[in-house]
Chains A and B, each alone.
Chain A
Amino acid sequence: GEDVEQSLFLSVREGDSSVINCTYTDSSSTYLYWYKQEPGAGLQLLTYIFSNMDMKQDQRLTVLLNKKDKHLSLRIADTQTGDSAIYFCAESSYSSASKIIFGSGTRLSIRP
């Protein structure tokens, strides 16, 4: 079945770039997402990319998609303390668009 994998932790220095990586197994994935979860809160959609795109940029966020390797990454430029959160990679497909499959989440912590 579908599977989405991420590393559990990432620590970066304030002002540096953060790169969070994700791999997925469903070759029919149509949409790939990055969600952010702050402490004690639900998830909020940060950005998403269609599978026919290689890159999407939105202010400090850059999403890169390597469809051949089924690899997705989220780059956060100039990381700030407010970026501390858990970041979830997720995917869905036209064939199962009613199901959004999430990874385990990467906890991003910021060092001063």
Chain B
Amino acid sequence: NAGVTQTPKFRVLKTGQSMTLLCAQDMNHEYMYWYRQDPGMGLRLIHYSVGEGTTAKGEVPDGYNVSRLKKQNFLLGLESAAPSQTSVYFCASSPDPRVNTEAFFGQGTRLTVV
């Protein structure tokens, strides 16, 4: 059981380049989340999804887009990367929170924008 898998694990981008981070979960979870982790700031929610075909903005959505075309995948896109987007990105998924609120996390993607 793989759980939550993020690809890639590391990436270096030049300012202005674009990229897509992929998150895949095999637990049939409805909810999926993208967070960024910066020193001293904890995890900040970028975007989230409450089901296939739905997305919603979190605390810090600017500069990012997401898509949830399939239930098991949640993609995070950076259209024009900026140095301020240098961070560690975590994807998470959870079942219906009315039943179980535990969130399962991927291993993270370390992104550096130069």
Contacts and interface: CB of A to CB of B under 8 A. Distances in A.
Indicate whether A and B interact: yes
A42 B105 CA distance: 6
Interface in B50-104: 50, 56, 58, 90, 92, 94, 97-98, 101-103
B34 interface: no
A4 B58 CA distance: 15
Contact of A45 (B41, B42, B98, B103): B103
Contacts of B50: 98
A98 B58 CA distance: 10
B20 interface: no
Contact of B102 (A45, A97, A101): A45
Contacts of B43: 43, 88, 102
B107 A42 contact: yes
Contacts of A6: 42
Contact of A98 (B31, B42, B102): B31
Chain A contact patch, size range: 20 to 34
A100 B106 CA distance: 16
A101 B40 contact: no
Interface string A80-112: 000000001000101001111111110000000
B107 A41 contact: yes
Interface of B: 4, 31, 33, 35, 40-45, 48, 50, 56, 58, 90, 92, 94, 97-98, 101-103, 105-108
Interface of A: 4, 6, 8, 31, 33, 40-45, 48, 88, 92, 94, 97-105
Given A44-B105, A99-B48, A100-B103, 16 more contacts: A8-B40, A42-B90, A42-B92, A42-B106, A92-B101, A94-B98, A97-B101, A98-B48, A99-B45, A100-B94, A102-B42, A102-B43, A102-B44, A103-B42, A104-B42, A105-B42
